[in-house]
Amino acid sequence: MLESTLTELYCPRTGTTYEADKIHTLSDVGGPLYSRYDLETAAANWQEGAGLSNRPAGLWRYADILPVRDPHFRLTLGEGGTPLLSAPRVGKRVGIANLLLKDEGINPTGSFKARGLCIAVSRAVELGIDSLAVPTAGNAGGAMAAYAARAGAAATVYMPDDAPGEFVDECEGFGAKVVRVPGLITDAGAQLANDMESGGFFNVATLKEPYRVEGKKTMGIELAEQMGWKLPDAIIYPTGGGTGLVGMWKAFDELETMGCIGSERPRMIAVQSTGCAPVIRAFEAGDKSVRPWTGAQTVADGLRVPMMVGDQEILRALRESSGTAIAVPDEETIEFVRHLGADEGIYGAPEDGATLAAIPHLLARSDLDKDETVVSFLTGNGYKYRSGMKRFIAENTAKQAAAACIDS
């Protein structure tokens, strides 16, 4: 059985180290904590015999560089092992000849959130925690509730009161208590924080505990393995809390240390909505941190994140990779959700449409070249977004009709 090579936790902002087998939240400076591994031992494990080829598919094939020590606590619902698909038709539409889609929507509970919450819940129960809570725009709540149910732990989910009903139904279907909070995900997080003492639960919010990022980094490891240990020229990623982006950036450093890849890196490109673009604003201003976005509004619930814990890590990854950041309007997002379905047979979430809608703009800005290999991450499927997308289309149609009446 594969053993974790976890050695310690550390703060990427200060370098301060923390004991690995104690319960932690944020670092002493309020930043995230990362896991550090004995990568020399892990590399030797990967090179023995048939290496990774004789390991089962899925997220836990990388168990030696994941933080859960006891195999008994390694929860699974079949997460990971998602396909990397060629996209000739939508690629032609956007102007990229070699466009690849990493389809995270086939994960359990329908999104990439399954990876992070699989690891976070597994590690939490290994450390003796039996009651968990999370603030969510939707998908993280469903994933946390599912893995908590798998572990036999209690789950409480805090979400904005205007979150689509499909997300509420999913969480309650997994036995979670759902608390609806007026406002945004940041308001849900604030209410959770206020309730922590009386609630008796542990908060597994994005980057407020050390292990969700470890699950998200497996997207980067898996991508490298699927591409024969060669990375693409660019990765386009929809960015709310940003754990997936910074997790992959961490993974690439670990893989280089292990001798799996060289020093070349893809340009990391963050995509947000014009209705909520705090990362884009900070990136363009040359800032090292993000200011909260006021009046956040977008059809892509996962992008309606006005402030995030890992803002410094996101901006650092974009700049170190010579990447960029871009915002797209919701109208284009929905248009490309339709194109993704009609062109490639994938019913994507709005966040997926946003990444594809960004590509023509990135080409026009010379941030991409038509002959490059580009991977666009599809972070969820569209089934839980149906009511929200229908509502947006109806409201937008009404606005267009009203504008036409005024013009006439």
With a cut of 90, say whether residue 2 has pLDDT above it: no
Q: 10: which 2 tokens?
A: 């550390």
> What are the boundaries of each domain within the chain?
84-109+210-391
- Provide the pLDDT confidence category of residue 403 given band limits of 50, 70 and 90: low
| Surface-to-core class of residue 264, CB atoms within 10 Å of its CB (0-12 exposed, 13-18 middle, 19+ buried) | exposed
With a cut of 70, say whether residue 386 has pLDDT above it: yes
Residue 407: predicted pLDDT: 67
Least confident of 52-56, 87-91, 249-253, 397-401: 397-401
* pTM exceeding 0.75: yes
DSSP string, 355-377: HHHHHHHHHHTTSS-TTSEEEEE
| Surface-to-core class of residue 390, CB atoms within 10 Å of its CB (0-12 exposed, 13-18 middle, 19+ buried) | exposed
73 to 67, 96, 118, 165, 213: CA distances (angstroms) = 11, 43, 10, 31, 18
- Provide the pLDDT confidence category of residue 186 given band limits of 50, 70 and 90: very high
- Across the range 45-54, mean pLDDT stands at 81
Residue 132's identity, in one-letter code, is L
CA pair distance 40, 126, nearest whole angstrom: 25
- Provide the pLDDT confidence category of residue 47 given band limits of 50, 70 and 90: confident
Q: What is the DSSP letter of 120?
A: H
Fold type of domain 84-109+210-391: Rossmann fold (3.40.50)
pLDDT tens digits for range 290-345: 999 999 999 999 999 999 999 999 999 999 999 999 999 999 999 999 999 999 99
Residue 398: predicted pLDDT: 74
CA pair distance 336, 93, nearest whole angstrom: 10
pLDDT tens digits for range 239-255: 999 999 999 999 999 99
DSSP string, 271-323: EEETTB-HHHHHHHHT-SS-PPPSS---S-GGG--S--TTHHHHHHHHHHTT-
139: helix, strand or coil: helix
Which residues have CB under 8 Å from 341's CB, separation 6+? 347, 348, 382
